[in-house]
């Protein structure tokens, strides 16, 4: 009966891709998935920025104190990928999370292969309690959950956001590290090497601050993996 109802509903309101709005049985159509701007060339091994050749650190990260060992993003936060992340975050696009996780696994396989044997646990950047209650979910945790299953590593919810900070994207680049400092805490024991998941890497200050508290709480090393990375200088 449910199947029949679903079928009728699909006839009247054909399912569409969340990103382009075209008719599609999947939440994200293949055309959109293929059009995501990928980061699959040479990168900075520290922060994941696309570079002309592979480097150990780059102009954007060399002068910063970044507490994670390495960060890698699967795509550029632009075009259809930016729209997909936006839908995931603000338009109740929860069903996009498996597709975005698949995108990460497809593009960042090199990075994952390098570190996965060392990883003990997967964690994600938390939202404040208020924001998570308002949104109904944490988009980074949804992606982390998918990766936890695919990579067969336990997911830890040890990180919490202790107070609400203004959204990083509403601040100038220079204000971001100060804004986020002291915003996170670790509520349960953590050990070993951690793979930290977030949706978008911008200046790195959020994931670096999370890495700092994880290390302080006992983690041995922190790696960062995000869906996307902002394209502008300073990111």
- Count of C-beta atoms within a 10 Å radius of residue 149: 13
Q: Please report how close the Cβ of residue 71 comes to Zn ion at its closest, in angstroms.
A: 8
> What is the Cα–Cα distance from 40 to 125, expressed in whole angstroms?
24
Question: Smallest distance from the beta carbon of 36 to Zn ion, in angstroms?
Answer: 10
Contact window for Zn ion (CB under 5 A) among 58-66, 118-126, 151-159, 208-216: 58-66
Q: Which two tokens stand for residue 145?
A: 């959950």
Nearest distance from residue 160's CB to Zn ion, in Å? 28
Nearer to Zn ion, 71 or 155 (CB): 71
Residue 71 found at the interface with Zn ion (CB under 5 A):
no
The answer to whether 42 and 27 are in contact (CB under 8 A) is no
Touching Zn ion, residues 129-188 (CB under 5 A): none
Q: How far is the CB of 6 from Zn ion (least distance, A)?
A: 21
Query: Residues near 218 by Cβ (< 8 Å), separated by ≥ 6?
Result: 189, 190, 191
Task: Give the distance, in angstroms, between the CA of residue 60 and the centroid of all CA atoms in the same chain.
Answer: 20
Token pair belonging to 41: 């060339």
Number of neighbours of residue 213 by Cβ within 10 angstroms: 21
Q: Which residue blocks in the chain are alpha helix, DSSP H? A: 2-12, 30-35, 79-90, 97-107, 109-115, 129-135, 139-151, 176-180, 205-216
Residue 66 in the binding site for Zn ion (CB under 5 A): no
- Per CB under 5 A, contacts with Zn ion among 16-55 are 17, 19-20, 29, 32, 44, 46-47, 49
CB-CB neighbours of 2 under 10 Å: 6
Torsion 85-87-90-92 (CA) sign: negative
Nearest distance from residue 127's CB to Zn ion, in Å? 26
Between 51 and 151, name the residue whose CB sits nearer to Zn ion: 51
The stretch among 15-23, 35-43, 99-107, 176-184 that binds Zn ion (CB under 5 A) is: 15-23
**58/160 with CB nearer Zn ion:** 58
Within 13 Å and on the Cβ side, how many CA atoms surround 40? 9
Q: Which is nearer to Zn ion, 174 or 233 (CB)?
A: 233
The smaller minimum CB distance to Zn ion, of residues 29 and 142, is found at: 29
Residue numbers of the site for Zn ion (CB under 5 A)?
17, 19-20, 29, 32, 44, 46-47, 49, 58, 61
């Amino acid at each position: 009966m449910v199947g029949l109802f679903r079928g009728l509903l699909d006839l009247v309101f054909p399912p569409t891709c969340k990103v382009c709005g075209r008719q599609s049985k999947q939440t994200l159509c293949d055309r959109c998935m293929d059009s995501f701007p990928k980061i699959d060339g040479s990168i900075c091994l520290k922060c994941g920025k696309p570079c002309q050749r592979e480097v150990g650190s780059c102009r954007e990260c060399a002068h910063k104190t970044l507490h994670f060992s390495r960060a890698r993003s699967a795509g550029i936060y632009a075009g259809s990928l930016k729209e997909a992340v936006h839908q995931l975050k603000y338009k109740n696009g929860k069903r996009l999370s498996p597709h975005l996780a698949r995108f990460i696994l497809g593009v960042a396989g090199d990075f994952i292969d390098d570190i996965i044997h060392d990883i003990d646990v997967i964690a994600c950047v938390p939202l404040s309690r208020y924001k998570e209650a308002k949104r109904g979910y944490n988009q980074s945790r949804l992606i982390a959950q998918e990766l936890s299953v695919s990579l067969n590593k336990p997911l830890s919810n040890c990180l919490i956001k202790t107070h609400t900070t203004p959204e990083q994207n509403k601040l100038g680049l220079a204000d971001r590290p100060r804004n986020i400092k002291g915003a996170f805490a670790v509520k349960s024991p953590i050990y070993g090497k951690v793979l930290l998941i977030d949706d978008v890497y911008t200046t790195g200050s959020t994931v670096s601050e999370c890495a700092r508290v994880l290390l302080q709480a006992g983690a041995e090393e922190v790696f960062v993996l995000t869906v996307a990375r902002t394209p502008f200088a300073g990111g």
